[in-house]
Structure 1
Amino acid sequence: MVETLQPPRFGAGQQPVKPAHSGRRVAAVFDFATASHFRAIVFLVLCGIVLFLPGFFNIPPIDRDEARFAQATKQMVESGDFVDIRFQDDVRYKKPVGIYWLQAAVVETASSLGLPRAQLRIWLYRIPSLIGAIGAVLLTYWAALAFVTRRGAALAALMMCSSVLLGAEARLAKTDAMLLLTVVAAMGAMARVYLSWQRGEDPVRPPWAAPAIFWTALAGGILLKGPLILMFVGLTIMALAILDRSAAWLWRLRPVWGLMWTLVLVLPWFVAIFWRAGEAFFSNSLGGDMLSKLGAQESHGAPPGLYLLLFWVTFWPGAALAGMAAPAVWRARREPGAQYLLAWLVPSWIVFEAVLTKLPHYVLPLYPAIAILTAGALERRVLSRSWLMRGAAWWFVIPAGASVIAVIGAIKLTHYPAFPAWPFLAAAMIFGLIAWWMFEDSRAERSLLNAVVAAMFLAVGIYGIVMPSLTAMFPSAEIARALRNVVCVGPKAAAAGFHEPSLVFMTGTGTLLTDGSGAADFLGQGSCRFALVEWRTERAFVQRAEAIGLRYNVAKRIEGYNISQGKAISIAIFRSEGTE
């Protein structure tokens, strides 16, 4: 890092020291890729494609958040109302409109290009997340260039690209990958302003580029997830102001013009939703969603320290090196670059650990700071030589454990051991073992690169092959497939006992969510109607059907697993034969 954990920048005629045995293929590819910024960008995009695309197109909608976002967007497209946010007849005011607009733009574009049934293709709704994930990787590279060399910046970006958590978010039609993009853009721009002030640079006319990126990213983050991005930025500024006993550098961000620009971008929709819904959006978003997270919302409560434990899995394969880099980072904590990155990381991490509601993706916007700090320590070769070096075994433990779990899960759910995934899972374990076996301080970079290759094979094996084969985990997709094969036109459905958002997305906005008695009443109201009755509510359905003289048959029975509730389910698809 500049003035922190990095050696002086390489000047004319100087070349970075190559890792030992750099003639090996993985290191040679990385050497070639980091020879220029253009190559590095192309390399990172290709890595993102390899890591994020497996399973992207063929994993069905995942309950509950992804399906809720996608269904709300689908209703926007169906209704043509791009101001209000609804899930069926209920308002959905937990998040602002940003992600819905992005998803709707993709779906509308696909429809205009002639893609059939575009509104039902979940992968279209995931495209903003894919763009956000790859964009966040590239912006991590850009942000890291303020702290480390081009090679170090590429390593930091690779750590983000291969991390387990970002790999999951890139495949989900939610806000978090795009939010990460805006946070990294804002923090990278602010870093450049802060470090130029620390270096004593006093330009007559401060450049506009960094402030423009900062305030635009801030507006984007607000439209995506409300004031959360303000927490990351605000806590960083407060920490730096306390440590430096000055915040004079903030004027270089041109706050007057910047605030005006941010308001121009965010106010139109907030005014429109206030005009439409009054105070309902703000009370639901701020009071009903954000403030409720101070408690254990939706059974996601957990004590402090959970994120630290999850970090070793969610930031794999970079987590092992991050642990080894921690002592050196702490020693350099008062140097400008490390101080900025720690101000980005530590205060917000403490807040997340203190809040009772905990979900793994909450800390994702903090991971770029960890990646850059780790890359700086890696460049300086100041990784811990103590017992922390034993953490290198983690490069093998994760692919080995994930492979075993994936195969056992496939056998349990499908009675088939997912043989096509075995070569990829084996390759992941082999590269993880190589990363562990070759690790030493001088070869840390090569170990990380081999671990990234392990992550690529793991992505293909688990996301690309195992997960799509677990049809029992996606009963909504099976139900929708069964309804598409019926002979009547425009089938309508009512669901009893299984009310997951994915079912509404797959079977239609008009799907009635009711109980067993309501499903029987619905079935008797016309032709081409189907009752989707989970076995726990079948008794109520049968009793009501007998009471109203409804004759019916079982068109199909779907056996599956509700991943949201963690229980096996059996859903009968009943079709009316008329009434007596």
Structure 2
Amino acid sequence: MASAAHHAPLSAGERATTQERRQFWLMLLFTIVMLGIGIGLRDPWPSDEPRFTLAAKQMVESGDWMFPHRGMELYADKPPMLMWLEAASFEIVRNWRIAFMLPSFLSALGTLLLVYDLGRRLWNRKVGVYAAMAALMCIQFVFQAKRAQIDPLVVFWITAANWGLLRHLLCGPNWRMYWFGCFCAGLGVITKGVGFLALFMLLPYAWAARQKWNGIAVMGASAWWRWLLGLPATLAAIGVWLVPMLLAARMHSDNPAYAAYVNNILFHQTAGRYAHAWQHVHSAFYYLPILLYNWLPLSLTFPGSFVRWWQGLKAKDARILLPLAWSLLVLLFFSASKGKRDVYILPMLPMVALITAPYLETMLSTRWLRALGALFLIATGGCMLGLGFYALHAHPAFTTRLAYERGFDGPADSLWWMCVAIGASQWLALAIFRWRRMHYAIVGGMLALWMVWGLWGYPLLNDSSSASELMANVRKHLGPHDEIGLIDWKEQNLLMLDRPAVDFGFSTPTSQQFVHAVQWQAAAPATRWLFIQEPSMGPCVDRSKGINIGHANRRDWWLFKADAVISGCVPKNSDEATETEDGSP
């Protein structure tokens, strides 16, 4: 494929050929299969998934969709957008195993369709297919798309905002698309707070327009007032949630919990978290290995892409400048904060895939990229095969320890045979497609990886990772008229208990929870049980009179009645109840 600067944008009325339509529908079908494998085969897994699903479930059960709850407490760490969508999905499908994954699935699918459309409009339909497939082949993108977290949704809103802005800035003028992009940026703000990053696209545009770069849409000086309407469009989207939330909180002015909720979600969890990060503190160069390893196999194209991007910039191709400069601005923004997580830079991926796509056909025919692709499959397949066979035959201590920490009591060999299957599939794909069709080998290897993980890994690990087996054991000890209270619990405990329960706060100090729980239990000692993790009992519970329910999510859990309580004893506060130590699988 020639330089991107030589690709004329697609004409508005140009019809797709039969081959182009076939390529699109095959790409769409492959994408749906890749992203959808495993949906319905597992429950929410820690750390974040049970938290959001529990809040969504409580919305459905209580009818209060404005303020998310985690048990009896308001949950103010994140805006409720994802929880709304999970709850709405449940109202449609009536199955939580499916509903909790639908927002991520649809967000990832929507992101790829938007990237395809940008590639189609800025270059041609083949580039659009390459752009979508380049993003889909990224390990981090699919990994996050298969998790019920906020990140796939915020990536969708930021990509939708970029789609509207680029249609205006490069394919325009199209003021409706500009306002739409600003509105989507606002929706991104009420999803995770960082949706405004899409508006950074206006900075390289302003510079390119001043320098008269090729492909820049000329707006005219009289359009200044139209630019200003982008701000109310953004604020209108934010107001969809913010205004009703503030009004509802004011109605609860007699309850200080609602004032604390407003302060936490508007200031502490946004600007406070960015400026004075208290978790995930890393160096300024933290994201460089993320770009190389988490973005495999897309990152294999970087050596060739950098050279071609530079050529596009020298040719003053604004189609390369705007997405590339925007991605660098996002990278700098997140690098400037001490708090860093690998998923923060995921919104860059669709734009990087977009500007890689025009050169992919040329690069895929080069020996160096084929060699890197072969090395990638050989290395990943070899590591999986080596790990699997070593664990199967040597039975090292770490395998027993890993199974115990995860509460996995199924056939241990199944875990390692799964690794063998993944490794073998990588090498099989390489053997089938060989050197000349290395890109097909990569696609086949990635599909096999996610098929094994979704169809084998999900059912195998679900009982221990989701705590469903643990909470099933709890239910076995409860009579039809028994009640249960939770102390120092985790979201998956209440979610998977699947029966009414009483909690005494989530972030409330453990000692206070214990005192209130014991008082509650004493009111009906014959029928009331308390559920607690082992360290939080301290010396205040007679273990000989309690029941060790089992080990799950790196914790031992107990169930006891009032006769096991040591009178007058109050345990020390637990130091374990942090957001990042939640026993993620």
TM range (shorter): 0.7 to 0.9
Work out the CA distance in 2 between the residues paired with 1:456 and 1:186.
29
The offset of 1:130, in angstroms, is: 1.0
Distance (whole Å) between structure 1 residues aligned to residue 537 and residue 491 of structure 2: 21
- Show the counterpart of 1:4: 4
Matched, 1:314 2:294: yes
- Superposed displacement of residue 315, structure 1: 1.8
Give the alignment of 1:45-124 within 5 angstroms. 45-110=28-93, 115=94, 118=95, 121-124=96-99
**2:184–2:237: 8 Å Cα contact kept in structure 1?**
no
Q: Distance in 2 between matches of 1:230 and 1:377?
A: 30
Q: Which runs of 4+ in 1 moved over 6 A?
A: 382-388, 577-580
Q: Is the 8 A contact 2:167 2:174 kept in 1?
A: no
Q: Is the 8 A contact 2:101 2:148 kept in 1?
A: yes
| Alpha-carbon separation, structure 1, partners of 2:182 and 2:8 | 31
Q: Matched residues in 2 for 1:85 and 1:390: separation?
A: 47
Question: Partner of 2:100: helix, strand, or coil?
Answer: helix
1:131 positional shift: 0.8
Q: Aligned partners of 1:46 and 1:575: how far apart in 2? A: 54
Q: CA deviation at 1:484?
A: 3.5
Which residue is equivalent to 1:158?
133
- Would the aligned equivalents of 2:545 and 2:563 in 1 still touch at CA under 8 Å? yes
Query: What CA distance in whole angstroms lies between the structure 2 residues aligned with 1:243 and 1:392?
Result: 39
Q: Which amino acid in structure 2 is aligned with residue 300 of structure 1?
A: H
Asked if residue 36 in structure 1 is aligned to residue 36 in structure 2, the reply is: no
Relative to structure 1, the CA distance from residue 4 to residue 422 in structure 2 (aligned partners, 3 Å threshold; closer, same or farther) is closer
In structure 1, how many angstroms separate the alpha carbons of the residues matched to 2:8 and 2:240?
A: 47
- Tell me which of 295, 318, 321 is aligned to 1:336: 318
* Alpha-carbon distance change, 9 to 260 in structure 1, aligned in 2, over 3 angstroms: closer
- Secondary structure of the residue aligned to 2:321 is helix
- Residues 48-82 of structure 1, C-alpha deviation per residue, up to 9 Å, x if partnerless? 33222333323332222222222222222222112
Unaligned runs of 5+ in 2: 212-216, 251-258, 392-397, 568-585
* 8 Å CA contact retained: 2:158, 2:185: yes
Q: 1:509/1:341 Cα in 2 relative to 1: closer, same or farther (>3 Å)? A: farther
Change (3 A) 1:92 1:422: closer
Q: Does 1:240 align with 2:224?
A: no
Kindly provide the amino acid, as one letter, of the partner of residue 466 in structure 1: G
Displacement of 1:424 after TM fit? 4.1
Query: Given the superposition, is the C-alpha separation of residues 123 and 330 from structure 1 closer, same or farther in structure 2, using an over 3 Å criterion?
Result: same
More displaced 10-residue stretch of structure 1: 167-176 or 355-364: 167-176
How far is 1:302 from its partner?
0.9
Decide whether aligned partners of structure 1 residues 492 and 185 sit closer, same or farther in structure 2, where only a CA change above 3 A counts: same
Distance 1:52 1:241, change over 3 A: same
The answer for the alignment partner of 1:200 in structure 2 is none
Write out per-residue CA displacement over residues 75-123 of structure 1, whole angstroms, 9 at most, x where no aligned residue: 222221122223223332333332222112112233xxxx4xx4xx344
* Matched-pair contact (CA < 8 Å) for 2:280–2:339: yes
TM-score by length of 1: 0.78
State the identity as a percent.
20
Contact 1:210 1:253 in 2 (8 A): no
Cα deviation, residue 521, structure 1: 5.2
Contact 1:317/1:395 (<8 A) preserved: no
Q: What letter matches 1:378 in structure 2?
A: L
User: Which residue of 296, 301, 306 maps to 1:326?
Assistant: 306
Partner of 1:25: none
Assess if the C-alpha contact under 8 Å between 2:205 and 2:322 holds in 1: yes
CA contact (8 A) 1:293 1:356 kept: no
What amino acid does structure 2 have at the position aligned with 1:85? P
Distance apart, 1:157 and its partner CA:
0.6
1:54–1:460 Cα contact (<8 Å) kept: yes
**Relative to 1, partners in 2 of residues 1:8 and 1:389: Cα closer, same or farther, differing over 3 Å?**
farther
Q: CA deviation at 1:342?
A: 0.8
Q: Is the 8 A contact 1:193 1:252 kept in 2?
A: no
Stretch deviating more after TM superposition (336-345 or 235-244): 235-244
Task: Identify if the C-alpha distance between structure 1 residues 81 and 354 changes in structure 2 by more than 3 Å, giving closer, same or farther.
Answer: same
Where do 5+ consecutive residues of structure 1 fail to align? 17-31, 198-205, 546-550, 563-568
Secondary structure of the residue aligned to 1:57 is coil
Q: How many residues align?
A: 522
| Distance of 1:574 and 1:77 partners within structure 2 | 31
Q: 1: distance between equivalents of 2:483 and 2:340?
A: 38
Q: Quote the Cα distance in structure 2 between the aligned partners of 1:61 and 1:253.
A: 47
- Report what 1:229 is aligned to: 195
- Within 5 Å, give how 1:274-313 maps onto structure 2: 274-277=246-249, 280=260, 283-294=263-274, 297=277, 299-313=279-293
Partner letter of residue 574 of structure 1? F
In 2, Cα distance between equivalents of 1:267 and 1:571: 43
Partner of 2:448: 457
- Tell me what 1:22 maps to: none
Secondary structure in structure 2 of the residue aligned to 1:214: helix
Alpha-carbon distance in 2 for matches of 1:101, 1:10:
38
> Residue deviations 1:428-485, cap 9 Å, x none?
32256459962xxxx5xx4233212211111122243234423575263222222333
Contact kept? 2:425, 2:445, Cα under 8 Å: yes
